[in-house]
Structures are given as C-alpha cells and as structure tokens.
Amino acid sequence: MDTRRLLRTFAIGIGTAGLLISGCSGGGSSPSASATGTAAPEELSSYYTQKLSWRDCGVEGFECTTMKAPRDYEKPDDGDIGLAVSRKKATGPGERIGSLLVNPGGPGGSAIGYLQGYAALGYPAPVRARYDMVAIDPRGVARSEPVECLTGKEMDTYTQVDQTPDDEAEVQELKGAFEKFAAGCEKRSGEILPYVSTVDTARDMDILRGLLGDEKLHYVGASYGTFLGATYAELFPDRAGRLVLDGAMDPSLKAIDMNRDQTAGFEGAFQSFAADCVKQPDCPLGTTTTADAATALKQLFADLDAKPIPTGDDRELGESLATTGVIAAMYDEAAWPQLREALEGAQRSDGSGLLSLADSYYEREPDGRYANLMFANAAVNCLDLPPAFDGPDAVEKAVPGFEKASPVFGRGFAWASLNCAYWPTKATGTPHRTEAKGADPIVVVGTTRDPATPYKWSESLAAQLSSGTLLTYDGDGHTAYGRGSDCIDTAINTYLLDGTPPTDGKKCT
C-alpha cells in the first residue's frame, strides 16, 4: 500500500490536526483494571468463545470471516458490531510462530486492504513463512460497519473549501463546511460514532487474539497503527508479544501540540524536497535555493487561491486541492518526480497532476466515489482527543505559531485543526503517557525526516514505554520498514522471528 495513505494529515477537517492530526489521533482513555487480567472478563466470555467461520475471500490464498464484538464495552449486552477479518496462513518452511496482526494507520486505513494488497505478499519471506498474516478492519472502517458522512458530490465540495480564509466570509464558509461534515456523520452514522475509539479497537484486537488461539499478540503497526499498538500494550501488557511500532505517535501530546509538530514535520519534508528539486534541471520552483523554492510554491498557492485552473475534470484546481496534492507527495520521496511534473503542469494552467495526487490522498475513485477513510479518520480522531480549538478566534491566535513551524503550510494546518470543534460526540480520550509496564520488549521505529510522525514522537514513545527500544532510520519519508534499508529490515525481521530486539538507540541509514 502507498505509504502516503498511512497517516492523513491535512485535509479539511480531518483530525484534530486537520485531516490528520486529530489526525493522527493520539489520545485514549486509560484502561480499567478489569481489562488487564489474563482471563477475559466474564461479561465478555461469549465474545472470546465465539466460533469463527472462515470462508474464501475471492482473493487467492486468503480466508475471511466476521467476528462479533460489543458495540459498547461498558454495556456489552446492548448489541454487537460485526468486524471483518482476513488472513493468509503461514507458508513454511519453519515452525509457525503464531499470527502477525498488521495495521497501516490512518486512522481509517483498511487493514484488510493493506494485508491483501501488500503485507501478506510483500513482507519478507521468512516472516510470512512462520506467521499467519492477519488483519482486522477497525470498527467504523471499510468492511467493518463503516462510518459514512457525505456523498461523493458533497465531498468534492468539501475538499475544495478554502483552508486559508482571508476574510470573515471565508472563515464562516470553512466553519460551515466543518459543521456540515459533522452533521452528515451524525445523520448517517450517529449510532456508531461514540464507539469507534482507539481503545475500543484495541479491545477488539484482544478478542481476535484469543479467537486465533494466540497467547500473545504479535503486531506490526505503522503511523496511527503505532498508537493502536501502544494502546493495546497499555491495556493488555501481559498479552503483548512482539510489537513493532513504525513511525510512532506520541500519546502524551495535546491535539494542538501534535498538529503544530506535524506542521513542522511537513515543512521539513518540503525542505528536503526543495533541496533536491533545485538541483534538477526541470525544477518548477527554480534552481537556486530552497528559500526561493518555498517562495515560488507560496506564490503558486496564492495564484490558485485567486484564480483556480482547469484539470480536465469538472473540478477546478484551487489552493485547497493543490496544497493537498503537494502534501500527499511529502509522504514518500519516490513521489517527488511526480510532484515536480504536477507543479510544472500547474504553472501551465494544467491542474490535472496535482488533482490526481489530491485524489489519491482522499481515496477518491474516478467515478467520484470516496472510500470511507476520511469519515473514519474524523470519527476516531475527534473521539480520541479533545479538539485543538473551540472556535475561529482560537485558531486566529494560534496561526502565528503554526506559520513559524511552517511558512509554507502553517496557516492551512492551523485552520484544518478546527474541525473537531463541531463534532457531535464528545471526546472520550485524553493525552497521557503510555508505559505498558510488564510488556515484553517493544520496538519503536523512527525516521529522522518523517513528515507525518516527526522523529521526536518516536523518541518520546520509546522513552515512555517501560520496555521500549528505539530503532532509528536516518532518512526521508513516512515509516521505515520495507522501504529499502537492509539495516532496518534485518533488525525488525530478527525481532519478529526470534524475539531479540535491536539494541536501544540503534541507527540505520
């Protein structure tokens, strides 16, 4: 799966950090004592003893099933939720270790899509040989009773709303877009919105662990998936097995701090892109300095704000979609040539390239349908953390700090952080340190120039976890496992296969 889809962060209204940050979700209620015992609580025994009926998925080599979990863990007798699960059994040779659960992040990314499209086929052969590769779409996501909010046409309108309002009328238009989004979610999915938190999903994972017959949960989570994995370890430290948390989030941060950190992360990623771009003869942002490149990009955004350009589609490319397109390419340096071409096209009044990048970020299909990722993203983020801002006045006061973090993206990231202020369901999570005392060694992987999950978050989570060990990739892009570093891959493979974690502080290039 394209790593750009692992953690969303900039679209209008998603996350407390705009599309992302809440987007990146980072809170969660603390576990109750009854959740951490070795035996399932009596009131949940029927869920831990249900029989899974595996069937052919229609995808060669994979099996699928649906498991039941309580919609409300506080009132398990009030009804169930159906959760989609898929697996590909260990291929051998070698003794089977157990199941390896994977999650690509989001929140809102389909873990089953990631499993069937990449993990169960592209993870190192020795890992696939000895683990059943397994995924569960989190509640509210994709195949697991998905949250729905807007129609395709409504989403087209939503994604084009100006994210850098210049006057009161534009502020009210943006506020109205957030309110309409939230109202759509409440209308179409109000019954499930209170029950899609990261804590709920972590508890679902433990039911699945039990049903798969594993004493401990082995897990690889990327981006937001690191927060999900850390939450599991916090809830069930005695059941946490070999956990890899790649591109980590810091659960101790407030939404506004996470959003501002991520703003700086994307600025750093843009600086890396610009430094490479100005060395290229075809750089559309000039061939002098990164500062000149930033100025050129800001001017392009301003021009598109004043006068959108055609795309060959029935949508024009304005500043909002153009910014999202640039952000999408920051997740992976392999997308930089595509971004250069798209920017050059925009300068010729051809917005198709940047629109294509933005559509990939939003998971918009050519026929105008959207996957539910953006809806689930908001639903989880706005439940996991209190909103970054309570209204437009608070955003205006914070804009200078965001612009200091990123002269290019700061204003837009600040305003995108407003969406959870209008969410219909009150947040149940709070920022807190996550220690998971008693858990086996947990490997936290950080990339030094990761735009979406800044490296200092990995440093912080590794330090918080009582058994955390930090593995560093000195490089660009979002996450590190499977991205070309033999050093990183060998360290993680060794940990997954024989349980030996890398030395704390190990660095790879």
> Tokens 């993203």 appear where?
377
Q: Is 25 a catalytic residue?
A: no
- What does DSSP assign to residue 6? S
**Cα separations in angstroms, 365 against 63, 113, 318, 360:** 26, 15, 19, 8
**Where do runs of H (alpha helix) occur along 132-254?**
152-160, 168-189, 198-212, 224-235
Contact 87, 78 (CB under 8 A): no
484: exposed, middle or buried (Cβ count in 10 Å: 0-12, 13-18, 19+): exposed
In whole angstroms, give the CA distance from residue 144 to residue 208: 14
Q: Element (H or E) spanning 70, and its range? A: strand 63-70
Q: What is the largest CA-CA distance in the chain?
A: 67
In three-state secondary structure terms, 412 is helix
332 among known catalytic residues: no
Active-site option among 206, 261, 450, 489: 450
- Per annotation, catalytic residue among 22, 223, 320, 356: 223
Give residue 311's Cα distance to chain centre: 28
Please confirm whether the linkage preceding 107 is cis (ω < 30° from 0): yes
In the three-class reduction of DSSP (H, G, I as helix; E, B as strand; rest coil), residue 361 is classed as helix
Q: Please confirm, yes or no, whether 223 is among the known catalytic residues.
A: yes
Spatial separation of the C-alpha atoms in residues 34 and 449, rounded to whole Å: 40
DSSP state at residue 373 = H
Q: Tokens 């590794």: give the residue.
A: 462
User: Which one, of 497, 493, 482, lies nearest residue 96 by Cα?
Assistant: 497
User: Letter for the amino acid at 154?
Assistant: E
Q: Which among 437, 505, 450 is positioned nearest to 481, based on CA atoms? A: 450
Q: At what angle do helices 319-329 and 352-362 cross, to 10 degrees?
A: 70
Determine the 3-state secondary structure of 442 from DSSP: strand
Which positions are catalytic? 223, 450, 478
